[in-house]
């Protein structure tokens, strides 16, 4: 049986009636922009995260630009960001006027560390974007201890936990994406900025609304970037199920380990103290493209998301910098996402692992064994 790379449909099936009722209620109410569902979702999401404030915005990319500006980032500043992440983590920096400075990651966790960030700091560094990649939880406190404000890019880590709290509550501010395939996904674009700082939240509220409080007087050059009411109504139905879905993602990782996947490829490693709700399950293999072809032929979904890391993308050529990023290059070359969802069951996990075993002739290649 084929196993898809992800499954967003099955977890939502039991919620169909409730979601349709929520949509109908918004249509009947006719308040489509910044209505009662957006405010209620903001409160419910902040409470879920253990953060003081959540502000809904149009998508996870705007969330980063707006959060950086609310943190005071502007022209002449540098923002440290990993290169091994989705392009938007870095793309959101130049619109603030600041310069992205790319840092390396830890190969086992795919996340930045205090050491990789330290190597990229200069007197012009105004903030660090710490990406909780694939659902892992990067070590925010260790990076804050370097004396630089942290913006968490938590787009991929809704539902994850760490001993310090949930992603979204750990840094100066955090950003989320509610893109449909995310751990908490809407039926279109959506995002949020979260923070424990009331004044920062207030600046985000103004920036998402043309830099204004009332659309009569304008204090900043802002954005038209709101979470819309229909998405908020849908996300409110989903939020109470996020923890159960996150548990499903954790279990899926355990099913893979139990089926022996770690004997064949390098598995993703949780950061110390983290309990990831895997958004993507990303393994490493020295012949990742060959493995991808074999899995596709066997009907197993797979994808190399970041084969070209951001600092090598054409649009970022002006920001390439002089830092060597060896773990980034290695991760880019060897990573491969295999099926992951809230409902991936043990039978499917065994099918995936057997397809990997067949592709690998039953042996874990030596190069991965020594790296992992």
Binding site for ligand PLP (CB under 6 A): 59-61, 85-86, 88-89, 131, 153, 155-156, 177, 179, 189, 191
The residues with which 237 forms a beta bridge, in sequence order, are none
The minimum distance between CB 177 and ligand PLP, in angstroms, equals 3
The minimum distance between CB 178 and ligand PLP, in angstroms, equals 7
Backbone φ and ψ for 67, nearest 5 degrees, come out as -65, -45
d(CA 283, CA 115): 23
Enter the tokens of residue 367.
Answer: 């190069």
The minimum distance between CB 82 and ligand PLP, in angstroms, equals 9
Question: Is 222 or 368 the residue whose CB approaches ligand PLP more closely?
Answer: 222
Question: Is 48 or 84 the residue whose CB approaches ligand PLP more closely?
Answer: 84
d(CA 48, CA 235): 13
Question: Is 131 or 344 the residue whose CB approaches ligand PLP more closely?
Answer: 131
Question: Is 51 or 81 the residue whose CB approaches ligand PLP more closely?
Answer: 81
The minimum distance between CB 350 and ligand PLP, in angstroms, equals 29
Q: Are 112 and 323 in contact (CB under 8 A)?
A: no
Question: Is 192 or 355 the residue whose CB approaches ligand PLP more closely?
Answer: 192
Nearest to 89 by CA among 132, 26, 139: 132
The minimum distance between CB 357 and ligand PLP, in angstroms, equals 30
The minimum distance between CB 222 and ligand PLP, in angstroms, equals 18
Q: Where are the beta strands (DSSP E) in 94-229?
A: 99-103, 125-131, 150-153, 161-162, 173-177, 191-195
Secondary structure (3-state) at 127: strand
Question: Is 78 or 153 the residue whose CB approaches ligand PLP more closely?
Answer: 153
Question: Is 174 or 353 the residue whose CB approaches ligand PLP more closely?
Answer: 174
Q: How far apart are the first and last CA of the chain?
A: 30
The minimum distance between CB 305 and ligand PLP, in angstroms, equals 9
Distances (CA, A) of 92 to 8, 51, 175, 297, 346: 26, 23, 11, 37, 39
Q: Are 169 and 49 in contact (CB under 8 A)?
A: yes
Q: Closest CB to ligand PLP belongs to which residue?
A: 60
């Amino acid at each position: 049986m084929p196993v898809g790379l992800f499954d967003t449909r099955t977890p939502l099936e039991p919620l169909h009636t409730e979601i349709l009722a929520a949509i109908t209620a918004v249509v009947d109410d006719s308040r489509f922009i910044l209505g009662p569902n957006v405010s209620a979702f903001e409160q419910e999401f902040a409470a879920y995260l253990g953060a003081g404030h959540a502000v809904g915005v149009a998508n996870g990319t705007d969330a980063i630009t707006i959060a950086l500006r609310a943190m005071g980032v502007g022209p002449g500043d540098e923002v440290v960001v990993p290169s091994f992440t989705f392009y938007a983590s870095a793309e959101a920096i130049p619109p603030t006027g600041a310069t992205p400075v790319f840092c390396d990651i830890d190969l086992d966790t795919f996340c930045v560390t205090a050491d990789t960030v330290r190597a990229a700091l200069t007197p012009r560094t105004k903030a660090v974007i710490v990406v909780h990649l694939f659902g892992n939880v990067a070590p925010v406190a260790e990076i804050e201890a370097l004396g630089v404000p942290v913006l968490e890019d938590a787009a991929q880590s809704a539902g994850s936990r760490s001993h310090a709290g949930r992603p979204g509550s750990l840094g100066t501010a955090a950003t989320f994406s509610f893109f449909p395939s995310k751990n908490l996904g809407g039926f279109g674009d959506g995002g949020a900025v979260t923070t424990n700082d009331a004044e920062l939240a207030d600046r985000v509220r103004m920036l998402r609304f043309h830099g204004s409080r009332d659309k009569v007087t304008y204090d900043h050059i802002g954005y038209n970037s709101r979470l819309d009411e229909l998405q908020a109504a849908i996300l409110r139905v989903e939020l109470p199920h996020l923890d159960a879905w996150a548990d499903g993602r954790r279990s899926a990782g355990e099913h893979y380990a139990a089926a022996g996947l770690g004997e064949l490829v390098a598995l993703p490693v949780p950061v110390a103290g983290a309990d990831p709700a895997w958004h993507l399950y990303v393994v490493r293999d020295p012949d990742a493209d060959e493995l991808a072809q074999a899995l596709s032929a066997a009907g197993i979904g797979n994808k190399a998301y970041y084969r070209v890391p951001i600092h090598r993308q054409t649009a970022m050529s002006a920001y390439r910098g002089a830092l060597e990023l060896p773990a980034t290059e290695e991760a880019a070359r060897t990573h491969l996402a295999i099926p992951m969802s809230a409902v991936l069951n043990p039978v499917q996990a065994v099918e995936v692992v057997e397809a990997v075993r067949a592709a690998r002739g039953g042996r874990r290649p030596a190069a991965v064994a020594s790296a992992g």
